Amino acid sequence: MPCIIPINKLRDTIEISNMCSDAHEPIFITKNGYGNMVIMSMETYEEQMAKADIYSKVLVAEKQIQNDELLDGDEIIDNLCEKYGS
């Protein structure tokens, strides 16, 4: 369940820092009852960015499959062995 707090709670920086570390997910900040910003720990941010990178690579791979842009793994290895003499 997402953590949602009002903007006036940002005054207690130690509590907010602890919440970010403990939550392992983004914390939503509201202003006048409406969404205003999102904060998260560096660890959570790095995890989110890694997931986004993986998802984008999966999308590229799915498009390559749809466009029949497939490569044969054995053929690639044979070509590399020929080129580099292994």
| CATH classification at residue 23 | 3.40.1620
22 and 57 in a common domain: no
Rounded to whole angstroms, the Cα distance separating 78 from 31 reads: 61
Name the pTM for this structure.
0.70
Q: Do 16 and 55 lie in a common domain?
A: no
Q: Looking at the 3D structure of the chain, how many domains does it have?
A: 2
By residue range, what is the domain housing residue 21?
A: 1-40
Do 68 and 84 have their domain in common?
Answer: yes
Q: Could you report the per-residue pLDDT of 41-60, keeping only the tens digit for each?
A: 999 999 999 999 999 999 99
Shared-domain flag, residues 24 and 61: no
Q: Are residues 58 and 48 in the same domain?
A: yes
- Beta strands per DSSP E along 18-71: 27-31, 34-39
Q: Between 86 and 8, whose confidence is greater?
A: 8
Question: So what's the pLDDT on residue 72?
Answer: 87
